[in-house]
Amino acid sequence: MSGKTTIYDIAKKLNITAATVSRALNNNSKISEATRKLVMETAAQMNYKQNKLALALKSGKSNNIGVIVPRLDSNFFATVIRGIEEELYPHGFHVIICQTRDDKNLEIENIDALLNAQVDGILMSISNVSIEQNESFKRILKKNVPLIFFDRKANINGVSTVTINDFHGAYEATKHLINQGCKRIAHLSNNRLIEIFRDRYLGYKQAILDSGLEFDESIVIETISKVEEGRKITKILLNMDNPPDAIFSSSDFTALGAIQEIKAQGLKIPQDICVAGFANEPFTKFMELSITSVDQSPLEMGKMTAKVFLEQVRNNDTIKIEKKVILKPKLLIRKSSSKNSNE
């Protein structure tokens, strides 16, 4: 048989109506199990492929879920996506992945593309530049498409979120550095308009104050999550008249840059200066000088985000119910900060 097989071809072969074939393929309850099974087997033999877009337009369901992340070259986001996929696939959903590269216009384009593709939900971690992009997010809700934020979020009424306790993770990391005898701890922050980075800054600051140490805003520097930026900022810190004896970074990448610059200046880690990061990127534990970091439980975060979505789509009444899931971070102490232990 040449060309694509249609429901009319299947109907002709089985001597039934095209409407019966269509109902059987779509699991209509009016069709007997024997007829449904016969149609499905014949469709498979004839290599019939359903038009997914037409089916989505007709039923209002595509079984596709959009996932938007700032970047894909990150173990954290890749692992979150893995968790989402592992949780959704058994329920018949497929994942369409988009990245914004922290570009406002690209984020809007991604949202438009997913809505045009008739996705059944959008799970996203917002970009650094989308804090004021509430109109784009509200447009998703106006179409009655479930929207769930994970990790980086905007605060919108009726939108569920899955995050970790960034304040607690930063507090514990800073407290650990203080327990190692560090008294002047610098902080490499990120865009504090984004809640997760603001919370990490506040956790760091509170740990300093709770320990009775002097809080010095001059050694808190906002940067972006890149190794070269970590080197550049650390060079500035080490050239101060009163340089820090520890660095807590809101990112493992800037922490790695800090370590590279410290070594380049002939200083020893952790003897001269301790370093801790955030995210538990794979390289942190495999380096000869392993890096202390806060684990964000990305696999659990992905699975939980998917579970929140499934809970909403199973009951339309829950779509606009705001659910806040906060996971507990874990501090992983390694060589880069272990003055007083063998870790």
Q: What is the pLDDT of residue 4?
A: 80
**pLDDT single digits (tens) 107-136:** 999 999 999 888 999 999 998 765 555 778
Q: How far apart are CA 282 and CA 294, in angstroms?
A: 12
- Strand, helix or coil at 58? helix
Q: What is the pLDDT of residue 317?
A: 57
| Spatial CA neighbour of 312 closest among 322, 302, 303 | 322
Q: What is the pLDDT of residue 320?
A: 58
Q: How far apart are CA 267 and CA 275, in angstroms?
A: 12
Q: What is the pLDDT of residue 8?
A: 87
Strand stretches in the chain, DSSP E: 64-69, 94-99, 121-124, 147-150, 160-164, 185-189, 220-222, 246-249, 274-276, 293-295, 324-327, 330-332
What's the whole-number mean pLDDT along residues 261-279? 97
Does the pLDDT of residue 58 top 70, yes or no? no
What's the whole-number mean pLDDT along residues 26-50? 84
Biggest distance spanned by C-alpha atoms of the chain:
90
Q: How far apart are CA 269 and CA 255, in angstroms?
A: 12
Contact 235, 263 (CB under 8 A): no
What's the whole-number mean pLDDT along residues 141-166? 91
Greater confidence, 292 or 47?
292
Site of tokens 């995210």 = 279
Q: What is the pLDDT of residue 74?
A: 85
Contact 194, 128 (CB under 8 A): yes
Q: How far apart are CA 214 and CA 138, in angstroms?
A: 43
Contact 61, 26 (CB under 8 A): no
Does the pLDDT of residue 90 top 80, yes or no? yes
Q: How far apart are CA 25 and CA 329, in angstroms?
A: 46
**pLDDT single digits (tens) 329-339:** 999 999 999 98
Contact 126, 149 (CB under 8 A): yes
Contact 302, 87 (CB under 8 A): yes
Alpha helices in 121-243 (DSSP H): 134-142, 166-179, 195-210, 227-238
- Strand, helix or coil at 301? helix
Contact 291, 259 (CB under 8 A): yes
**pLDDT single digits (tens) 197-229:** 999 999 999 999 999 999 999 999 999 989 999
State the average pLDDT for the chain. 89
Q: What is the pLDDT of residue 128?
A: 74
Contact 150, 123 (CB under 8 A): yes
Greater confidence, 233 or 41?
233
What amino acid is encoded at 174 in this protein? T
Phi, psi of 248 (to 5 degrees): -110, 120
Quickly state the pLDDT bin for 342 (edges 50, 70, 90). Answer: very low
Nearest-10 Cα torsion for 283, 164, 157, 108 = 0
What's the whole-number mean pLDDT along residues 162-191? 97
Q: How far apart are CA 274 and CA 289, in angstroms?
A: 11
Quickly state the pLDDT bin for 180 (edges 50, 70, 90). Answer: very high
Delineate the domains of the chain, giving CATH numbers in brackets: 7-50 (1.10.260.40), 60-163+298-326 (3.40.50.2300), 166-295+331-337 (3.40.50.2300)
Most confident range (mean pLDDT) of 124-133, 141-150, 165-174 is 165-174
56: which residues sit within 8 A by CB, 6+ positions away? 62, 64, 118
What's the whole-number mean pLDDT along residues 171-185? 97
